[in-house]
Structure 1
Amino acid sequence: MTNRITTLGHDGPVEGPESRATAIGALPMTLRARRPGYGVMQECLRLQSQVPGRTRAQRFWGVDPVAPAAQSWFKGALGERRVAAELDRLGPAFTVLHAVPVGTGSTDIDHLVVGPTGVFSINTKNHSGQRVFVGGGSFMVGGGKTSHIGAAQSEGRKATRLLSAAAGGSFPVQPLLVVAADRITFGKKRAPVVVLRPDQVRGWILGQRRAYSDEAVRYLSMVAEERATWHATAFAPDDTLRLEQRFDRLLRQVEDARVRRRRAALAVVLGVIGLPGAVLIALRGAATVLLGS
């Protein structure tokens, strides 16, 4: 028999299932343990494992350690981490979940926020270094069309259906698109999904009208953090800490490579001033081959 508990929603009393936390011994495992960017970090590291490590010479010259196939996943993970840092500043009145698994496969919601101002599914896009145009249903990156608007809408509808079913009432989830880009231009026609920069998302959520009582927020947070609310597989022992440590190691390698490239560039500049021509040509040639420029 499923126990029921009663709490207050935005339309009055509602009923929903009691928390279904799966436990190892007495320790419940919920989605609070998931770290931001879990899915994209996992795919990035999987692709990284399929390529050979850098040679000593490549490490010396600062060749980028991230494999070409893993570049977009690496960039995506950085974007999700940046947005997570903003969301974590919302304060104790809000519950923030990351990489929420949805459906039956590996699809996830980048971030889910539950608080007094509502429930929000957040789709993060890292288009740093590019220009973005948003107008009506169009979301263009560098002049190319994307499916970001439709994907965010679909994510919001699915999240609404799953949360409402689990909580035993009608609880809309508003989709947001949070985009990192060099420049975002908005057209005259408003997009059907709210589009924000990472530094805007916290203020926007806090600035919405109150939608739920404190009691309702506690209840919805309890339901939302259970994996069974969202995914067909109610429990999976994700070792998110170990995965994050591996990704952090890769990030340190990327930073070290960037420093080494700068040193190599400086050496070339100094060579222009004082090194013999033959040495300079050899230095430039080695840098060209190893750095791929």
Structure 2
Amino acid sequence: MEGGQASQGVPRESGPVRADLKGRTAGHAVIERLLQEQASVPGRTFLGRVFGASPLGSDSVSWYQGAVGEINVGRILERLGPEWTVLHAVPVGAGASDIDHVLIGPAGVFTLNTKNHTGQAVWVAGRTLMVAGKKQRHLYNAAHEASRAANLLSRKMGGPVPVTGVVVILAPKSLTIKASPEGAAVVTATRLLTWLAERPRVLGPGQVGMLTAAASQPQTWHRNPPAMTDPGLIRREFSALRTAVNKARTRRITWFLAVVIAAPWILSTLLRHF
């Protein structure tokens, strides 16, 4: 994929679309928005490609980082056992909102809000979560997602369905829990499976099956479920863009190293002529 030239919007799947949410790929909704942003980004110039200019538009960077975070967490969740069901990018409400991941298993129901804070310090105490010293609304948003999910699932099931909200931090420089977070749990992506394994078992196989059947229906979550974009297309489009981004980064690093290595020789040559 070359800048915005490779994607002119995201075409819809021409064949049958799955009636449930199990076919959605991790980061599905974020990637759709990313590709929409990229569609208006002009292709890089020849020199831009040579020197490793990023194919991402300025408005695409945060969407790209979010997609990488959800995909990485999705890969971690693939290692959960068969007793777990994982739904990705669940459209919820009446608009374009979605829940990054919904988990249903022996330990209960969880909504995961993934945040890519690679290399940044995260600090948590009570209702406060800070990233690099700045307050964020991650705990509030995760608690709101869990509460909304509990209401929707309870309505569908005809009885109370507790849901735990989780903020999943991807590759932070550090995570300091000064006091237990309120409203939602906070865990790094690397500890996510261990954290889930430590939760007590509260649901039997039959209950998990019934909840999975209800949660897999788009109508459980959204008033007017949007048509699903072909997950295979989503993966291919993002893979092509990610390859272009990585190649550009490699070229920038190569040029930087070349300059660093050549600098002493260039300097000595100039000094000999003065």
- By the TM > 0.5 criterion, same fold? yes
* Superposed displacement of residue 194, structure 1: 0.8
Looking at structure 2, the residues matched to 165 and 238 of structure 1 have their Cα atoms a distance apart, in angstroms, of 27
- Aligned mate of 1:126, from 116, 119, 143: 116
Alignment check: 8 A CA contact 1:96 1:113 kept: yes
The residue aligned with 2:231 is 240
Secondary structure of 1:158's counterpart equals helix
Spell out the pairing of 1:74-89 with structure 2 (5 A cutoff). Answer: 74-89=64-79
Looking at structure 1, the residues matched to 103 and 126 of structure 2 have their Cα atoms a distance apart, in angstroms, of 25
Looking at structure 2, the residues matched to 234 and 37 of structure 1 have their Cα atoms a distance apart, in angstroms, of 17
* Superposed displacement of residue 188, structure 1: 3.3
RMSD: 2.0
The residue aligned with 2:104 is 114
Looking at structure 2, the residues matched to 25 and 275 of structure 1 have their Cα atoms a distance apart, in angstroms, of 60
- Aligned mate of 2:190, from 171, 187, 199: 199
* Superposed displacement of residue 50, structure 1: 1.5
The residue aligned with 2:217 is 226
Q: What TM-score comes out, normalization by structure 1 length?
A: 0.82
Spell out the pairing of 1:32-181 with structure 2 (5 A cutoff). Answer: 32-180=22-170, 181=172
Q: Deviations over 1:19-69 (max 9, x none)?
A: xxxxx9987421011111111111111111122111111111111111111
Looking at structure 1, the residues matched to 209 and 98 of structure 2 have their Cα atoms a distance apart, in angstroms, of 23
Q: What TM-score comes out, normalization by structure 2 length?
A: 0.88
Identity %: 37
- Give the stretch that moved more between structures: 235-244 or 24-33: 24-33
Secondary structure of 1:89's counterpart equals coil
Letter aligned with residue 138 of structure 2: H
Looking at structure 1, the residues matched to 166 and 135 of structure 2 have their Cα atoms a distance apart, in angstroms, of 19
Q: Deviations over 1:64-122 (max 9, x none)?
A: 11111111110011111111111111110000000000011110000000011101001
Residues 189 and 119 (structure 1), Cα distance of their counterparts in 2 relative to 1, 3 Å cut: closer
Looking at structure 2, the residues matched to 257 and 25 of structure 1 have their Cα atoms a distance apart, in angstroms, of 35
Consecutive unaligned residues in structure 1, runs of 5 or more: 1-23, 280-293
Looking at structure 2, the residues matched to 47 and 27 of structure 1 have their Cα atoms a distance apart, in angstroms, of 24
Q: Deviations over 1:111-167 (max 9, x none)?
A: 000011101001111111211111110011111111111111111110000011112
Looking at structure 1, the residues matched to 100 and 165 of structure 2 have their Cα atoms a distance apart, in angstroms, of 11
Looking at structure 1, the residues matched to 56 and 15 of structure 2 have their Cα atoms a distance apart, in angstroms, of 39
Looking at structure 2, the residues matched to 209 and 130 of structure 1 have their Cα atoms a distance apart, in angstroms, of 31
The residue aligned with 2:4 is none
Larger Rg: 1
Alignment check: 8 A CA contact 1:228 1:235 kept: no
The residue aligned with 2:10 is none
Alignment check: 8 A CA contact 2:165 2:183 kept: no
Looking at structure 2, the residues matched to 91 and 214 of structure 1 have their Cα atoms a distance apart, in angstroms, of 13
Q: Deviations over 1:196-221 (max 9, x none)?
A: 00011111112211111111111111
Residues 134 and 268 (structure 1), Cα distance of their counterparts in 2 relative to 1, 3 Å cut: same
- Aligned mate of 1:211, from 202, 211, 215: 202
The residue aligned with 2:261 is 270
Alignment check: 8 A CA contact 1:90 1:206 kept: no
Secondary structure of 2:60's counterpart equals helix
Alignment check: 8 A CA contact 1:134 1:191 kept: no
Residues 277 and 66 (structure 1), Cα distance of their counterparts in 2 relative to 1, 3 Å cut: farther
| 2:169 aligned with 1:185 | no
Letter aligned with residue 189 of structure 2: P
Looking at structure 1, the residues matched to 48 and 207 of structure 2 have their Cα atoms a distance apart, in angstroms, of 56
Matched positions, count = 256
